[in-house]
Structure 1
Amino acid sequence: MSDVYELTVTVDLREGLSEQQLTELRWHLGLGPQPGQLTVVTEFPCVVVDEDGVPRIENEPRPLLAGSGPAWRTAGALCSALAARDGLAGGGWALTSRTEIHPDEAEEVGALLRWLAERAHDTHRRDDGTVWIGYYRAHEDRTPSALEVVDGRVVNVLSHR
């Protein structure tokens, strides 16, 4: 099975995001600098080996949907956009991101996707509470699968139903 996945997030967010949240979201999309304080995704564990050869875990924040330029394995280009949306009932934000992720990033990316789903416009919600937020596919697959958040759990991303 693949070690690289294409992740395409296309979601309309409700209005009411704070300036701090927008700043952090722009950073995750590769559209702005890292904010001083992270509140959306706060843990980015990374195993490092210290001077004595002992592995330890450090927190190394990194933007999660910031791919840009040519895709490494999935063809096409990696990109992100965030635009104010005036026409949708209540305004809000239109977000699109196409990136490649590795299974090692699934936990952090999942936290960001759950955060986005909590703020998704009602047009992304089914009656059962499921929130549709995009697509994913293994790099060798031709057909993407739906990416949803059900009961606070990301499904179809790196863990098929």
Structure 2
Amino acid sequence: MADIFELMLTLDLRDELSEEERAELLWHLGLGPRPKVLRIVTDFPFVVEDDHGELVIEDRPEPLLGRHGEASKVGGALVSVLLRKQDTRHSAWALTSRQEIHPDDFERTGQLLGRLANKAGDFHRRPDGSVNVGWTRFYEEHRPEPLVVRDGVVIWPS
């Protein structure tokens, strides 16, 4: 049994992405090189054993939404796309990403999604101020659950 969830993001973003944010987002989507400085998600701790058998924490940045190709548990394909929209009256960027995610990655991915929710178009905002960024489902379930960011924090499935 695996603790894998399908993560489906569908967001329209306002034209407020700085060049640095856009470059980092493209890297996270697996669509561009890693920027020299990471500003959105800055820590990628990874525990390894050193030459003396001691556990140490290394920083190993990796794209959070950058897997492309066949999904291993949820079926279908893993993809990420960021497109410049033609009609920019309401939103300037269309973002879609379908990924497999483990609960260990909820916190880091949540940092990215919290930032993206702040840039989301009004279409995604709910009356209570939260932002609908997509949905998620446990890989063995058939019915997805809405994925919402409230006050900058992702409400992950329990």
Partner of 2:84: 84
Letter aligned with residue 50 of structure 2 = D
Q: Any gaps of 5 or more consecutive residues in structure 1?
A: none
1:99 aligned onto 2:102: no
SS at match of 1:63: coil
For these two proteins, the number of residue pairs brought into alignment is 158
Q: Any gaps of 5 or more consecutive residues in structure 2?
A: none
- Once superposed, what is the RMSD of the aligned Cα atoms? 1.3
- Separation in structure 1 between the aligned mates of residue 5 and residue 140 of structure 2, nearest angstrom: 9
Q: Cα distance, 1:66 vs. partner?
A: 0.7
SS at match of 2:123: helix
Partner of 1:113: 113
State whether residues 66 and 79 of structure 1, in contact with CA within 8 Å, keep that contact through their aligned partners in structure 2: yes
Q: Cα distance, 1:48 vs. partner?
A: 1.1
SS at match of 1:16: coil
- Separation in structure 2 between the aligned mates of residue 121 and residue 90 of structure 1, nearest angstrom: 7
% identity of equivalent residues: 49
- Separation in structure 1 between the aligned mates of residue 91 and residue 74 of structure 2, nearest angstrom: 33
1:59 aligned onto 2:56: no
- Separation in structure 2 between the aligned mates of residue 123 and residue 31 of structure 1, nearest angstrom: 25
Post-superposition Cα deviations, 1:10-29, rounded to whole Å, max 9, x if no partner, equal 00111021111111101100
Q: Cα distance, 1:2 vs. partner?
A: 4.5
SS at match of 2:7: strand
- Separation in structure 2 between the aligned mates of residue 100 and residue 122 of structure 1, nearest angstrom: 27
- Separation in structure 2 between the aligned mates of residue 55 and residue 119 of structure 1, nearest angstrom: 39
Partner of 1:146: 146
Q: Which runs of 4+ in 1 moved over 6 A?
A: none
Letter aligned with residue 43 of structure 1 = D
TM-score under structure 1 length normalisation:
0.93
